Amino acid sequence: MAERTIRSPLPGIFYRQPSPDAEPFVKEGDVIQPGTVIGLVGVMKTFHQITADSGGRVVRFLVENEEPIRPGQEIAVLTDAGDE
């Protein structure tokens, strides 16, 4: 099944966890649902949630924690939940 990507609508700093000491929202291999939060973009002193528009298995992240991102940048790759 074709892989698909989750993009950020916003520029800013990408965070994989809700706070510096917390676990990441999702990890590689996790099966997620539509609407699952996969990270945050921090810009203008506010944090915007990046959510998956479709469900599936998280294959990999294309952006490191705390990396600056551009609008439309691909953040993570999903595949169907049954695929390994």
Q: Which residues bind another protein (CB under 8 A)?
A: 9-13, 42-46, 48, 68, 70-72
Q: Are 38 and 25 in contact (CB under 8 A)?
A: yes
Q: Residues 11, 76: contact at Cβ < 8 Å?
A: no
In DSSP notation, 29-53 reads: T-EE-TT-EEEEEEETTEEEEEE-S
* CB 82, min distance to another protein, A: 31
Our CB check for another protein shows the closer of 49 and 81 to be: 49
Q: Which is nearer to another protein, 29 or 68 (CB)?
A: 68
Which of residues 10 and 78 has its CB atom nearest to another protein in the complex? 10
Kindly state the smallest distance separating residue 69's Cβ from another protein, in Å: 8
Distance CA 35, CA 52 (A): 5
Q: How far is the CB of 72 from another protein (least distance, A)?
A: 6
